[in-house]
Amino acid sequence: MWRKRHILSAMLAASLLISCASVATRLPDISMPALSLEKLAQEDIAMTELNERSKTLLNIGYPVLRDNAALCPKTRLGIGAATHSQEDYDKRLRVASLRILGAGPRERIFQIVEGGPADQAGLEIGDELLAADNAPLAPDSDVFQDMLKAGQATPIRVRREDFIITKTVTANRVCDYDLKLSSSAAINAYANGRAITITTGMMNFVESPDELALIIGHELAHNTMGHIRKIIGNFILSGMATRYTRPFESEADYVGLYYQVRAGYSPDNVEDFWRRLAKINPKSVNRAKTHPTFPDRYLRLAAARAEIEAKQAAGEILVPNFKTDADTVLPSGKK
């Protein structure tokens, strides 16, 4: 009986394949050489845009990481440079990354913050940071970190083309969270406790460096405030109730705005971000699942901006208003 069913299933599958529908029009022919040329052209467009977005993200994000180091639980020494190799790219794009961006098998500098330590030291795109044994290093590697001294001029060895030269760099202390760019059309950003990821969709949506700095500050706040651990804990303890994640989004908005302003970016009308987002995502005007509604976030961000501007006018230090013991209310209602 089983054999009979197996044969019938095979016959049915075969008949479906034979009877697959086809198009009803005569499509124009294209040549393989033309297809290959267009592939190269689109790879060039995509990789060049990716490079520009990476440059923008690092240049805007580095001051946020640098100027908030005093409020970050994890810090490292930064030189304002990012390295890459072919392994950082999708396998299908590695040939293009070499041809267009110079990404080879070894770590090389491919982004430098304008006016940052690496820029001031005279480092260039394509340079390799070297260990004592001439092995290429990434700026955040333990070996390279051990070579640096905070606020002190440090000689470092660099391979530039066929020569090994020495440059002197004075590193900054920065928050120890990598800035990453995700090639996704989704307007999104996220943190995982170790890194901050911004999508190309978000990069295309923001209208100014101030807005991008706000998004980076928001994700930095998730990391510094330990939100990922707290959100997971609440989600499990509450029986998967999403409402217990919303306060952390509000706190990230609040603390993130402080991080943005501390880095020298303007908070003027930054809350308008949520009105613009409402135009393309109207459901979130009234719906709150894991995140507060857009009107809630708009008003709280505007209130946080007013709080910061009042502190600036009074010459106060710009730090978020953290809770004290007096703010803690016991289940009985007593403080």
What letter would DSSP give residue 239? T
Q: Which pLDDT band, with edges at 50, 70 and 90, does 330 fall under?
A: very low
Mean pLDDT, residues 29-34: 96
The reply to whether 223 and 286 lie within a common domain is yes
Q: Which pLDDT band, with edges at 50, 70 and 90, does 190 fall under?
A: very high
Task: Give the start-end residues of each E strand in 59-134.
Answer: 75-78, 81-84, 108-112, 128-130
* Paired residues of 81 in beta bridges: 112
The reply to whether 167 and 251 lie within a common domain is no
Mean pLDDT, residues 96-103: 94
Q: Dump pLDDT digits (tens) for 247-275.
A: 889 999 999 999 999 999 999 999 999 99
Percent pLDDT > 90 in the chain is 74
pLDDT(235) > 70: no
Domain assignment of residue 292, given as a range: 209-316
Asked if residue 306 belongs to a domain, the reply is: yes
Asked if residue 110 belongs to a domain, the reply is: yes
Asked if residue 311 belongs to a domain, the reply is: yes
Q: Which pLDDT band, with edges at 50, 70 and 90, does 284 fall under?
A: low
Helix (H, G, I), strand (E, B) or coil at 252: helix
Number of domains forming the structure of the chain: 2
The reply to whether 155 and 222 lie within a common domain is no
Q: Cα 160–163–167 angle (5° rounding)?
A: 60
Distance CA 192, CA 254 (A): 19
Of 157, 175, 193, at which residue does a domain stop? 175
Q: Which pLDDT band, with edges at 50, 70 and 90, does 331 fall under?
A: very low
Higher pLDDT pick, 3 / 172 = 172
What is the dihedral sign for C-alpha 252, 208, 179, 49? Answer: positive
The predicted pLDDT at position 227 comes to 83
The reply to whether 156 and 227 lie within a common domain is no
- For residues 27, 33, 35 and 41, what is the CA-based torsion angle, rounded to 10 degrees? -150
Of 175, 197, 228, at which residue does a domain stop? 175
Residue 329, classified by CB atoms within 10 Å of its CB into exposed (0-12), middle (13-18) or buried (19+), is exposed
What pTM was computed for the model? 0.86
